[in-house]
Amino acid sequence: MQKLVILGTSGNSLEILEAVLDSHGADTSSRFSVEGFLDDDPNKWGQDILGYPVIGPLSQAHRIDDVKFINGIGSTNSFKRKPEIIAGLGIPDEKFATIIHPSATVSRFAKIGVGTIVLQNAVIGTRVQIGRHVQILPLSVVSHDSQVDDFATIAGGVSVSGYVHLGRACYIGSAAAIRNNVHIGSEALVGMGSVVLNDVAAQTVVAGVPAVERK
Ligand SMILES: CC(C)(COP(=O)(O)OP(=O)(O)OC[C@H]1O[C@@H](n2cnc3c(N)ncnc32)[C@H](O)[C@@H]1OP(=O)(O)O)[C@@H](O)C(=O)NCCC(=O)NCCS
């Protein structure tokens, strides 16, 4: 069985743990046994979370042999830093796992990159292309022919229509809806519950119905 270490101890990281535990018995299953977490908060080192130890800081990752990693870090405060967090670990992409919850539906014609997580009841449609280190949280739908670039985060209950392009390290807030053919720029943030009708420029924040830029 492949040993797995989860990066971060936030809610996302705990949901990843659940996804791995839920996989036992399913086909994709028991591929992983969770060794614990890495987290940069020294107060957490040596503690147990849900029965799994916090082994130490992220900088220890390159010294741990024979494990795969999966990143849970990526809140609204940290999502832009995901590329540098992953690069700073000093470990190659082949040491990352891809975690798909057994309740998620992934089209046989979709592509999903390494280090990506797809959580409970998410639906990934036909010919969707999802990059590396992407987080797709529960109940989100990514419809046919959409492209999700590396390090993007899609929070829970999001509806991404067809032919949408989500840029690198963008963040789509909970329950947002994105109209077909729209492009969301890299490192942009879409507020929760927003309805996005038009393209969103890189590194901007939009929110509301319809979504407009917030300074
Ligand atoms: C958009 C967002 C980043 C703004 O956060 P913020 O900078 O702290 O903004 P504030 O809460 O100070 O609100 C600023 C203004 O935007 C409005 N606003 C904030 N979020 C909004 C949203 N999602 N939709 C509509 N309006 C919103 C506020 O009402 C306020 O309006 P006002 O100036 O007229 O009073 C945040 O509200 C948000 O939606 N984050 C995503 C949360 C999420 O999806 N979490 C998932 C966790 S798994």
Q: Map out the domains of the chain as residue ranges.
A: 2-95
Distance CA 96, CA 83 (A): 14
Task: Give the residue whose CA is nearest to atom 12 of ligand 1.
Answer: 214
pLDDT of residue 24: 62
The tally of CA atoms less than 13 A away on the side-chain side of residue 191 is 13
pLDDT greater than 90 at residue 89 = yes
Does residue 138 have its Cβ closer than 6 Å to ligand 1?
A: no
CA 45 – ligand 1 centroid, Å: 33
Task: Give the residue whose CA is nearest to atom 4 of ligand 1.
Answer: 191
Question: 3-state SS of the chain?
Answer: CEEEEEECCCHHHHHHHHHHHHCCCCCCCCCEEEEEEECCCHHHCCCEECCEEEEECHHHHHHCCCEEEEECCCCCCCHHHHHHHHHHCCCCHHHECCEECCCCEECCCCEECCCCEECCCCEECCCCEECCCCEECCCCEECCCCEECCCCEECCCCEECCCCEECCCCEECCCCEECCCCEECCCCEECCCCEECCCECCCCEEECCCCEEEC
Ligand 1 closest atom vs CA 206: 1
CA 176 – ligand 1 centroid, Å: 12
Greater pLDDT, 31 or 104: 104
pLDDT tier for residue 22 given thresholds of 50, 70 and 90: confident
Average pLDDT over residues 65-80: 94
Q: Which residue bears the tokens 């809610």?
A: 11
Average pLDDT over residues 105-132: 97
User: What is the pTM for the complete model shown?
Assistant: 0.96
Mean model confidence pLDDT for the chain: 94
pLDDT greater than 50 at residue 211 = yes
Average pLDDT over residues 66-70: 95
CA 137 – ligand 1 centroid, Å: 19
The CATH number that domain 2-95 falls under is 3.40.50.20
**Tens-place pLDDT, residues 144-178:** 999 999 999 999 999 999 999 999 999 999 999 99
Mutate to test the pocket of ligand 1, among 15, 76, 172 (most ligand atoms within 8 A of CB): 76
pLDDT of residue 30: 52
